[in-house]
Each structure stands twice: as C-alpha cells, then as structure tokens.
Chains A and B, each alone.
Chain A
C-alpha cells in the first residue's frame, strides 16, 4: 500500500484526523483524546512498528501553546509518518496521553519532552526528568527561558556549600572568557549572531 492511500484509510476510521502541512512525509493532526487509539491502530493495522522520536513544540503565543510530535517508521513499508497532537490543559501544565503502553520506546522520549517543555504525559509509569537533575525548577526549552539560564541551586547541597557555587547564567554578552566581537574574524569567538536578547538585555515583548 502506498503512503498516498494511508490518509483516506485512516480518516475513514477516525474522522477527527486532519492532514497537516509537511515538506517531506505525510503528517497528520490527531486530537489528544483519541491519540492512544489512533497510535494502536497505526501500529497494529498499518504496520508502523517503530516509534523513532517524540519531541515537543512551544508555539509561544499560539493556543494551544504546546504540541507533541511523534515520528513513526514502518520497517515493512519503509515510510515515515508524523503525528502531531496539540496538548490539553493550560499553558503552564500541558497534558497529553502517554504512549508507553503502545511502544515501550516512548518512555525515555516522553521523559525528555517533559524535562525540556514540561509536557505531562498522562499514564507514564515514571515521569521524571532525564537530562536535568530532579530538583531543577525550570523547563529549559520553553520560549520564555533564556539560553544563558536562570540562577538556581546546585543539585548537591553539600558540594554547593563546600564550593560556594550555584547554577549561574552563562556569560553571553560579557564575562571573563568571552572574546570581543569587533576584532578580526579569526580572533573572534564563534557564537550566535542574534544578541537581541540575552542575560544583559531584556527579551523584547510581543506587541
């Protein structure tokens, strides 16, 4: 079966599904309420047996603010399918059903999306942070979080007391180790050109 036949077949079964604009593979929008049913159907009857990735998107000012993106691969048909689900809940604690019951591979991917975006995957057996430490208070990939970071405590209070070190904002615009940007290109430190907002300059507010 070609990938072109997939969409009519899937939307005949689940009329809520709509096609999503995509540059490469077929992408579909799935409401969070039927996500697990759709994914089980795609796995069992359409042959999408491998979950390759789960990621989150922060749409900043849009509502709903967060989306969860799933990349499925059919090892039999050699096609990818992208599934996008808008999160339920308010902007501070977005929710989406967990897919660990469908693909065990979802476990760590969902933990990462939770760690970075704060998306709560409901039904996840062990929803902890996976990259940052457990007590970290922020979600670093959200739009309002500055790249340089926000001052907070070290993960180990004993070491923090011994060394007097805390998590500080990284020097983006200045600091002892940042080379000046005006000299010759070979002497400059490579870094992001966009310095419109960093720890020294406020983020411009959207009008």
Chain B
C-alpha cells in the first residue's frame, strides 16, 4: 500500500481521505460497486468498496435508483469503503478539518473547516467528509457489521442532510403519501401515529414517499415539493402485526437485540414508491377523538415544526420560516384517530380527493 501524504489544511486532509478510498478500491477491485440514483431530482453516483457494505447502503435508496446509462455529470458523488473487508483502515488524523467549528451531535463529532467548505462527522466506527464545493462525500466504515439499525435505515447521517440543506431541501419529520396526483404530508411528533397512518395508506394503495423523514423544497412559484429520501422503515413488532403485507420486506440480518424490525418497502411495493410530489394538504393525526377537522395555521405550525427542526436536522430560524410558509399555503387538518388505521387511510384519500 502506498504511503499517503502528510496533510495539514482541510483541503489536504480531504485529499488524503480520497486517496485512501482510491487505495481501498485498488486493493479490492472485485468488491467495488457503482450505482446511480436521483436524490431530490438530482443525479447521484454511489461508489462502494465492500460487498456487504454496498448492499446495506443501497437498500434504503433502492427506489431512487436510476436506469442505465449512468449520468455523465452527477450532482453528488458518494465514495465509501469497508475498512475491514478492504483491509484498509482510516488514515490517522482525519477525524476533523481541525480549523473550524465543532459540535457533539448524536454521539458523534461534527466539525467544519474554517469558512465551512468541509464538513466531517466522526462516530468512532465511521468517518464521513463532505466537500461542499465539489459535492463529494467520502466515507470510511470500520465494518458493514458495525452499522447500527438506525444507520442502515438512514445512511450517511449529518453529511447527506447538509448536502440536502445546501440545496434548500429541508428534511422534515413527517410522512408523505400521494393519491390522485396530490401529496398529503403527515406531520406530528413521535407517538402521534405518523408512521402507522403512512403505512396504512401505502397498504391501501396510495403511493408513499416516506413514513418518518422526507425532504421539502419550496419552488419558485411557492409550491412545496416533497422528496422521498429513504424507502426503509423501522417498525415495532406490534406494528408489523398490523401490516402483515410488509413482512416480506423484513431485513433479517441485523444484529441489534432490538424490538424493532427493519423493513425495506421497495421489496414489497416497489410500484407504489414515488420520488417526488407536490404537497397539497397537511394531515396531523392525533388521539383519541374520531373525526376530521380543519386546523388553524398556528396549530399546524406547532405540530410540524418542533420535531422537524429538532429531530430532523432542521436549519433553525430559516427552517421555521420555511415551515411557516408551508402551513400558510397548504390547508391543514386534524385527523383524529379511529381504531382502524385502514379507515384513517380512507379519510386521507377523501382529503386528497377534495378540489384544491
């Protein structure tokens, strides 16, 4: 293995990190896989060294895969390697750009270079860097087996969210379904029934763009377009029993002693997974009454904003302003819980069928 150059500046460190990826690729050419996707309508190239890692990282994005031929000029290039399989550890001293800000985020160290061009995220078993100028993510994972269930459901934490944010796509804590060519954003904190309602809609024949986190983009004419980010979901066993049609999508090889199952929706309903849709209505499930009622703009903002800004990498005041524009433009309804989530799905369909 060739010796990597000494790096002092953030740009040099990124260069060393990239060189390490290239070394891993040369060390394990048969385990190198390249696939292409559309993230928020933009072409992305994913290049992975390590068979198991490639399979695990590709699963959540499977529904966003682009058909051949691959794009000539991807908007984002992601290059990852499995340190264990490639026998290629992460070079020393690259945990951070070293000359900018640092924050502890979800048990990992998030750092930026001075000026903000480079972002790095170090979690002990993985290191990711994003170059915001060349739109390139480089990542080392100690071993594919080290990925947590959460990371397998939503890969590339922090750096991918930053890339979306740079493109004014805000990640919101919400589900998104579509019917009649119109989108219903399903918002609320954990426990409100977001995932359950989204999956009930999917099983009832709606198109789905995600049950937990979706990207929201405001277009030039003020329309809000929702983008699918992942097709995977984690369900508790009792939720899985509610939706037996989803059982064939269970990914069974995760090692966590967890009461949650990882489900790959692209395996069960590939034709019902949609990439983007305009958001026409905001639905907010809540317990325990049984009816559908219009919600005020303030109620809607209070429902969708807190968890989106805190839990889904929201960009602070700018994020809140965007969500305020969303609730100002899109009608919102409380959807009070029925016993039967399938009946709830019918009511979402009724809202989408209303003329706009």
Decide if A and B are genuine partners.
no
Chain B residues within 8 Å of A, Cβ to Cβ:
none
